[in-house]
Amino acid sequence: MLVEEVYALSRTFPPDERFGLTAQLRRAVVSIPSNIAEGSRLKRRKAFLYHLDVALGSQGEVEVQLEIAKRLGNTKAGGVAEERVARVGRMLNGLIESLQPCEGDWSQLQPLTTNHQLPTDSAVTSFNGAIRSSTNVFHSWHCGHCQSGSVLR
């Protein structure tokens, strides 16, 4: 949904922004679900977390670029896209936190187990589809320091 909203919003930008802000904004917003989908296909937790970090970086880019568009008069303040991009950032932060080992000790972390039955098209079309796809993959880990386990569904 975020991707569709940003594309619709960027269609209202002036023609002189076509190769500037419009292109940058669209690339950044597509990068969010793309990195989530790519990372969720990998079997190594560090690789998945790396791609989630990249997606979070892209979310930050979208946030800043929407603010720039607002300041340039290309969009109105407090839009739905701004609210959704902030929500996406909170969701990504939560997912990243839930996948990190306790006290940063990667040596005690057991391998990530997955059943790779992800729909690839949902990850491209919307963040919500991608986040559902990546969290529907069975993730199980156990940290030896805190003796707690976590399962994301």
DSSP per-residue letters across 47-97: HHHHHHHHHHHHHHHHHHHHHHHHHTTSS-TT-HHHHHHHHHHHHHHHHHH
What is the number of other CB atoms lying within 10 angstroms of the CB of residue 98?
13
CATH topology of domain 2-152: de novo design (two linked rop proteins) (1.20.1440)
Tokens of 27: 């690339």
66 or 117, which is more confident:
66
pLDDT at res. 60: 97
Look at residue 117 and tell me whether its pLDDT is greater than 70: no
Per-residue pLDDT of 57-77, as tens digits, reads: 999 999 999 999 999 998 875
What distance in Å separates the CA atoms of residue 82 and residue 72, rounded to the nearest whole number?
A: 15
Per-residue pLDDT of 77-99, as tens digits, reads: 568 899 999 999 999 999 999 99
Q: In the predicted model, what is the mean pLDDT of residues 24-43?
A: 96
DSSP 64-77: HHHHHHHHTTSS-T
8 or 110, which is more confident:
8
What is the number of other CB atoms lying within 10 angstroms of the CB of residue 153?
7
Total-model pTM? 0.68
**3-state DSSP call for residue 52?**
helix
- Give the rounded percent of residues in the chain with a pLDDT score beyond 70: 65
**What residue type is assigned to position 47 of the chain?**
A
DSSP 114: -
Tokens of 114: 């997955």
Domain spans in the chain, listed from the N-terminal domain onward: 2-152
What distance in Å separates the CA atoms of residue 28 and residue 86, rounded to the nearest whole number?
A: 14
- Give the rounded percent of residues in the chain with a pLDDT score beyond 90: 54
Model confidence at 113, pLDDT cuts 50, 70, 90, reads: low
